[in-house]
């Protein structure tokens, strides 16, 4: 229910980010998707609506995300301060900067501010009053986790979905036809073909390419015995390109998701089981509403030279896997339609 209520905020944030885009310009998909997902996260997760304050958050979050490189995440030995110098010390400083903003905003709500519906309120209301330690710090951790796990992953998915929509005119036309009479976020998230386009983009380009578990007990996988304590992973590319489940697996074909029901053992862009992505429903809603708002507001076209190029490779970018090159689209026109969306 809460996620549905975020639909209006997502539409408003997207409309805001494309407000100044004019016909004749070219827009970079990466820049646009990152700006939209960051704007949405700052409003939904941190609940910041004021434009100046949002700029402060955008700066703090962008700097922190840039400093949060894959080597630091994957190699614990690199996480050393070295007398206040080096990449880890920088990351810690930037984390503290963001935490200061969060502490200021949390102090404004506690203890008497009315309970709202943003994620910070949800976390504050979930704090165990009997727990020892400082609850604020645990909440900072949760908020930063939501941001790190949700921002880059959703942004790269948005880029790939837009890439496929504008690369193939027949896909764009079918999505546009569905959107022609549909404005409310609740209707948009229920559109079957748009939903299938997003799912197919996530099949071909899962932003998190491998889902890992540490074994609690011994397990034999495909004839290979693995001891307790070992880490095993599901390679999503292997799963999503298995030709016995996905005929012609390299082809972008959203209709696969309309033709048959797909099992979670065949398709898992959000992982699975007990630790499945907690943001899956939110991300799916965000992708549908943001893409719809872009398509209903701007008439875009992929330049011919990009149409004729090979599909970009996927490369590691932060915690997600993104297109190796920036994709730009030409802005042909702006639609005179008003995009709905209230927001806070």
Q: Which is nearer to ligand HEM, 44 or 331 (CB)?
A: 44
Out of 282, 285, 290, 323, the residue judged to bind ligand HEM by CB under 6 A: 282
**What are 336's two structure tokens?**
């005179």
Range 113-121 contact pairs with CB under 8 angstroms and sequence separation of 24 or more: 116/47, 117/2, 117/5, 118/43, 118/44, 118/45, 118/46, 118/47, 118/344, 119/44, 119/45, 119/46, 119/47, 119/143, 119/146, 120/45, 120/46, 120/47, 121/47
Q: Residue 27, interface with ligand HEM (CB under 6 A)?
A: no
Q: Residue 343, interface with ligand HEM (CB under 6 A)?
A: no
CB of 299 to ligand HEM, least distance (A): 26
Out of 7, 195, 254, 271, the residue judged to bind ligand HEM by CB under 6 A: 271
Q: Residue 2, interface with ligand HEM (CB under 6 A)?
A: no
Q: Which is nearer to ligand HEM, 272 or 303 (CB)?
A: 272
Quote the CA–CA distance of 148 and 142 in Å, as a whole number.
10
The region of 60-68, 223-231, 268-276, 328-336 touching ligand HEM under the rule CB under 6 A is: 268-276
Please answer whether residues 171 and 197 qualify as being in contact, where contact means their C-beta atoms are separated by less than 8 angstroms.
Answer: yes
CB of 207 to ligand HEM, least distance (A): 5
Out of 137, 177, 278, 315, the residue judged to bind ligand HEM by CB under 6 A: 278
Please answer whether residues 81 and 92 qualify as being in contact, where contact means their C-beta atoms are separated by less than 8 angstroms.
Answer: yes
Q: Residue 279, interface with ligand HEM (CB under 6 A)?
A: yes
Q: Residue 70, interface with ligand HEM (CB under 6 A)?
A: no
Out of 10, 94, 98, 211, the residue judged to bind ligand HEM by CB under 6 A: 211
Letters for 124-163 (x = contact with ligand HEM by CB under 6 A, - = none) are: ---------------------xx--xx--xx--x------
208: left (phi over 0), alpha (psi -120 to 50) or beta: beta
Give the burial class of 227: count Cβ atoms within 10 A of its Cβ; 0-12 exposed, 13-18 middle, 19 or more buried.
exposed
82: left (phi over 0), alpha (psi -120 to 50) or beta: left
The region of 99-107, 110-118, 183-191, 263-271 touching ligand HEM under the rule CB under 6 A is: 263-271
Q: Residue 270, interface with ligand HEM (CB under 6 A)?
A: yes
Q: Residue 188, interface with ligand HEM (CB under 6 A)?
A: no
CB of 234 to ligand HEM, least distance (A): 8
Q: Residue 283, interface with ligand HEM (CB under 6 A)?
A: yes
Q: Residue 40, interface with ligand HEM (CB under 6 A)?
A: no
CB of 332 to ligand HEM, least distance (A): 28
Q: Which is nearer to ligand HEM, 130 or 274 (CB)?
A: 274
Quote the CA–CA distance of 238 and 28 in Å, as a whole number.
30
Binding site for ligand HEM (CB under 6 A): 145-146, 149-150, 153-154, 157, 207-208, 211, 269-272, 275-279, 282-283
């Amino acid at each position: 229910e809460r996620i549905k209520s975020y639909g209006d905020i997502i539409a408003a944030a997207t409309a805001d980010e494309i407000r100044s885009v004019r016909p004749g310009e070219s827009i970079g998909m990466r820049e646009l998707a990152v700006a939209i997902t960051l704007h949405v996260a700052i409003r939904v997760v941190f609940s910041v609506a004021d434009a100046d304050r949002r700029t402060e958050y955008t700066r703090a979050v962008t700097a922190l995300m840039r400093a949060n490189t894959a080597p630091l995440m994957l190699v614990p030995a690199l996480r050393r301060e070295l007398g206040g110098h080096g990449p880890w010390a920088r990351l810690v400083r930037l984390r503290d900067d963001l935490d200061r903003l969060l502490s200021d905003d949390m102090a404004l709500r506690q203890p008497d501010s009315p309970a709202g519906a943003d994620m910070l309120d949800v976390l504050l209301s979930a704090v165990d009053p009997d727990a020892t330690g400082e609850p604020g710090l645990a909440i900072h951790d949760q908020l930063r986790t939501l941001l790190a796990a949700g921002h880059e992953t959703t942004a790269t998915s948005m880029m790939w979905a837009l890439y496929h929509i504008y690369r193939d005119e027949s896909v764009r036309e079918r999505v546009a036809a569905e959107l022609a009479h549909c404005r409310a976020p609740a209707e948009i998230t229920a559109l079957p073909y748009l939903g299938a386009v997003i799912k197919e983009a996530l099949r071909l380009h899962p932003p998190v390419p491998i889902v890992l578990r540490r074994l609690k007990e011994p397990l034999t996988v495909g004839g290979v015995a693995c001891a307790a304590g070992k880490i095993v992973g599901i390679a999503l590319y292997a799963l999503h390109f298995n030709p016995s489940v996905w005929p012609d697996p390299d082809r972008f074909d959203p209709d696969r998701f309309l033709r048959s029901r797909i099992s979670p053992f065949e398709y898992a862009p959000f992982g699975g089981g007990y630790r499945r992505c907690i943001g899956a429903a939110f991300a799916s809603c965000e992708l549908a509403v943001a893409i719809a708002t872009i398509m209903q507001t701007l008439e875009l076209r992929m330049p011919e030279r990009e149409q004729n190029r090979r599909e970009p490779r996927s490369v590691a970018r932060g915690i997600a896997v993104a297109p190796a090159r920036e994709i730009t689209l030409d802005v042909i026109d702006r639609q005179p339609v008003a995009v709905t969306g209230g927001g806070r």
